Structure 1
Amino acid sequence: MTSLRRWRLSHLSLYRRLMVWLLCPLALLVAIMLVQAWLASREAADRAFDRLLDAASLSIAEQVRWQQSRLWMDLPPSALEMLATDAEERVFYALYDAQGHFVTGNRSLPSLPTENDIQMNYGDVTSQDMPLRLGVLRARLEGWDRSDRFEVRVAQTREGRQALANQLFLASFVNILIIAGLAVVVVLLSARFALEPLTRLRRAIRQRNPRTLSPLELALPLELAELRQALNELLARMRRVRANQERFIGDASHQLKTPLAGLSTRAELALRQSDPAAWHEALATMHGTATKTARLAGQLLSLTRLNNPEATPTKQAVDLTALARRCVREAFSRHHRRGIDLGVEVPEHAVMVSANDWQLEEALNNLIENASIYGASQVTVQVTDAPARLTVTDDGPGIPESQRLLMLRPFHRGQETGDGSGLGLAIVDSIARAHDIRLSLQAAHPDHPERPGLCIALTFSSDASSNA
């Protein structure tokens, strides 16, 4: 139920969410004010009628006399008439002596506990299943010969009090409703005016040309200005991405145009020949060009897949030892025909990492192919543990230190010799960044700079090894 409620709130418009968070506390405040008004109305009604009970009790107490060896009183009609209202409530009185014995009255009434010798006490009681408001006046006869204590108890039903409390509460209720209505109107208008800059921002975004990535220029409040700045930063990144894509497409078109043009030219020249040997030579050249073009197309496809994060499969446990052996086994015969010594050095136990299997295989195949294309006669694939590391070392010409970062850019080639397209290391770099792998390029023999060779290492993080 909680998640469903959060889902419903999250799908409300910002204006409705603002109304919910403003009007709910306002409704709670109105409810509290109404409860307080009701309690205050009852208290005010009790205070007003208690004063009448006090006056009636004093009027009765003034008529108490000592007559024929006992207390007696002559009840004046005005004493009870002052308690009569339009609600026609019933009034009861009683006189009790100092010992609590009933002397006279129209009903026996209960007593109230004495509190610090207070002369007049009030309380809510029930007499014969009838709720009453009782006032008890404690007094004494004042005379030269007697000073006896007595109690005058006067009670009244609650109809008049309830009617007065309802009238007071109704007046407060109307006032609170008027104030609450004005507050709701103010909140609605304030929210509309407060969200107006957001509406202008929405309109400005909707009216923009989809091809336009220029910054938004719109005067906004501080909070929305930060959102505008974030949008402008996103647009700037999109401009850079589009520029990179356009450059990549241009480079890819150039890379594909050259071998395709060569194929067309070679085929045209072969058609003009009648010698089968010339045809054979042309077909061999065209086969090599087609193979190179197919490999270039495959690398372009791989680079495109790697640059699409939505198409990246979920990582899983991969054994680097088994991966290295499989890649070397599949590439061994092809490299052996070229005269390249391809070997593998791996531990006996499995080296597990959390990664994507086909992407790691693609990276290792590109490293092996790059080493063989650019003049290496010996290529060694190594796997080490603690930390997990995949290394490809060759004895080729290597890469100058100043050129190593540039070699990670697509279509950048450090030398014009060889059949490489300049995409191999770019693909490896994309795979490394996707897996949070540290890619390092260094000399194969750092202690002997005069010896040729290159060592490319993929070092996995401790999290990738522990999660495998």
Structure 2
Amino acid sequence: MLSNKGSLRTRLVLLFGLVLLIGGAFMLLAANALAQRSADQLYDKLLESAALTAVDSVSVIDQELQFDLPYAALATLALSENDRVLYSLTNHAGKVITGYQFVEPHDRKEMLEQHQQGLPYFFNHSYQNELFRFVILERRLLESGMQDKVYLQMGQSRLARDQLAADLTFKAMIGLGGLIILGWLFVWLTSGWSLRPLLKIEQELACKEPTDLTALSTQVPAETAQLVDAINKFMGRLQRNQDRNHAFIAEAAHQLRTPLASLQAQAELATEDHDIQTIQKRTERILRNARETNTRINQLLNYATLAHRADIRLPERFILSEVVNQVLVDLAPIALTQAMELSFDNHIADTTIKADPEAIKEILRNLVDNALKYGKPNTGQGLIHVSLNYTAEPNCLLLQVQDFGAGVPADLLEQITQRFGRGELTHHAGSGLGLAIVEQLVHGMQGRFSLVNVAGGGLTAQVFLQVSV
């Protein structure tokens, strides 16, 4: 049983939740920066207003500068109860006329450019271990024949503006948190609804009987249609394999029942006979029948194994002519014992193909074995000719095995390629599986198999192999 790897719905919710959290974190950082900027803009207006009120109170009396910080300037900044306020009035030479020590701006050049445009210059700076927001205003004095410039610097600690920024950020965080929770709930609900087709597929599969391999009929969206199609194709293959196995088992049982019954009958008769010669003859029959039965069982097992290989397909790259030559070398001694000669014409040189070499070997063995059994002429030594050729079709090679025997009646050509279908050839030893194995293997390789009678006598087996050259 497959181990449970967790819920797909939970994975979707967690993944989307992670995306929401990461996105929320970036949005919170952006909201904090926006809140800080908004707080600075608000309090900078108040600070600038107070500085303008203060700098307007600068006057010249008897060639001397007079400055009296107005209450209105302090009242404007008094809105921030816990903030400290600093001010400093200096002349163009940087000498402090009144107030605290002048705090040098970060960029004097930028300050001068701002003043030339008639704009205030703002900057942050630490003063006595506390961060302040400063503004510097420039005023030209053209009174009583005096021409001079003075600079008013006014600073305010950042407690109030930082508190405002924190409040704005907190409210944004509450809003983002609510959106994240709503997003999570939305994904949880929609993922359950979206995955409902999978539940329908599961329910239909669970309701099927073990022997019911018909296609699923559940209507599903396009995203899961491929899954249903793959399941239906898989069940179709299972159905075909099941049908083939049932037919194979039934036919195998039928084919084995007769020789086993014959073995049993011969053995029972042998136990009742007392004549040594009769017992010896019956023993020889038992041995011959046992060998034929053993051969038939081996062919049946071989057929089942190769049919399985044809289904799973185990392709590898190899030189086709070398495999054919190897099989012919292995079968040459058997051919000699039957007064048959094997010949091979290779017209594809060392062409490398991608296919199942074991299937190719079994195809050739069965074709040559069939030719050895049925392709021997009535007189003289027989010949079996094997050839490899290209065809006009792309990625298609032709393997031919030709004998010069009596051939096969035209009306039996199709029958002898069926399992246990031997037609009128039952007087020869055999199980009727050889050509059926060839048919099955060639079909599994998407090839074609045909038998053609040769004019003047003989039979040619043609195997068209669809391979990647």
- Aligned-pair distance for 1:244? 1.9
Distance 2:449 2:191 in 1: 56
Corresponding residue for residue 380 of structure 1: 384
Cα separation, 2, equivalents of 1:355 and 1:57: 91
Residue pair 2:335, 2:372 contacting (<8 A) in 1 also: no
**Aligned partner of 2:76: which letter?**
M
Q: Which amino acid aligns with 1:211?
A: T
Per the alignment, residue 257 of structure 2 pairs with 257
Aligned to 2:59: 65
CA distance in 2, matches of 1:325, 1:233: 39
Kept in 2: contact 1:344–1:381 (CA 8 A): yes
Residue 296 in structure 1 maps to residue 302 in structure 2: no
Range that drifts further, 123-132 or 107-116: 123-132
Aligned to 2:393: none
Which whole-Å CA distance do the structure 2 matches of 1:295 and 1:419 have between them?
A: 10
* 2:232 paired with 1:238: no
1:425 and 2:424 correspond = no
Do residues 36 (structure 1) and 10 (structure 2) align? Answer: no
Aligned mates of 1:63, 1:393 — CA distance in 2 = 122
1:454 aligns with 2:459: yes
What is the aligned partner in structure 2 of residue 103 from structure 1? 97
Is the Cα contact below 8 Å between 1:23 and 1:184 reproduced in 2?
A: yes
Per-residue CA deviations over 1:194-245 (Å, capped at 9, x if unaligned) read 3233234324423433233244444544434553344334333322322222
Query: Which residue does 2:401 correspond to in 1?
Result: 392
Residue 4 of structure 1 corresponds to: none
Q: Which amino acid aligns with 1:302?
A: N
Query: Which ranges of structure 2 fall in alignment gaps of 5 or more residues?
Result: 106-110, 391-395
**Matched residues in 1 for 2:451 and 2:211: separation?**
43
Following the alignment from structure 1 to structure 2, what is the Cα–Cα distance between the partners of residues 283 and 456?
38
Supply the distance in 2 between the matched residues of 1:72 and 1:325 (Cα, whole angstroms): 123
Rounded to whole Å, the distance in 2 between the matches of 1:69 and 1:400 is: 139
> Would you say the 8 A contact 2:16–2:184 is kept in 1?
no
Q: Which residue of 1 aligns with 2:47?
A: 53
TM-score scaled to structure 2, two decimals?
Answer: 0.80
Correspondence 1:226-375 to 2 at 5 A: 226-267=226-267, 279=279, 281-309=281-309, 319-320=322-323, 323-336=326-339, 341-345=340-344, 359-375=359-375
Shift of 1:357: 6.3
Q: Could you give the per-residue CA deviations for residues 367-421 of structure 1, whole angstroms, max 9, x where no partner exists?
A: 2221232353324253658898754321123356786566443223354443332
Per-residue deviation, residues 108-131 of structure 1 (Å, max 9, x unmatched): 132424236033232223457653
Do structure 1's residue 89 and structure 2's residue 83 form an aligned pair?
yes
> For the Cα contact (< 8 Å) 2:353–2:467, is it kept in 1?
no
Q: Counterpart in 1 of 2:208?
A: 208
Paired AA for residue 300 in structure 1: L
- Contact 2:384–2:402 at 8 Å: present in 1 too? yes
Q: One-letter code of the match for 1:332?
A: A
Structure 2 contact 43–161 (Cα < 8 Å) conserved: yes
117-126 or 168-177: bigger deviation: 117-126
Q: Give RMSD over aligned pairs.
A: 3.8
Between the two proteins, what is the percent identity of the paired residues? 25
Distance 2:312 2:228 in 1: 30
Q: What does the per-residue CA deviation read over 1:331-370, in whole Å, with 9 as the maximum and x for residues that have no partner? A: 135424xxxx2324367x9887766666554433322221
Aligned with 1:397: secondary structure?
A: coil
Provide the rounded CA distance (Å) in 2 between the counterparts of 1:352 and 1:290.
42
| CA spacing shift, 1:113–1:459, aligned 2, 3 Å | farther
Q: 1:33: how far off?
A: 1.5
For residues 308-342 of structure 1, the C-alpha deviation after alignment (integer angstroms, 9 at most, x for no partner) is: 34998885857336513432234135424xxxx23
CA distance in 1, matches of 2:34, 2:389: 79
**Contact map agreement 1:88 1:160 (CA 8 A) in 2:** yes
Aligned twin of 2:7: 13
Q: TM-score, normalised by structure 1?
A: 0.80
Residue by residue, what CA displacement relative to the aligned partner does 1:235-262 show, whole Å, maximum 9, x if unpaired?
Answer: 3332232222211111111111122233
Distance 2:388 2:153 in 1: 102
Larger CA deviation: 390-399 vs 401-410: 401-410
Q: How far apart in 2 are the matches of 1:87 and 1:299?
A: 103
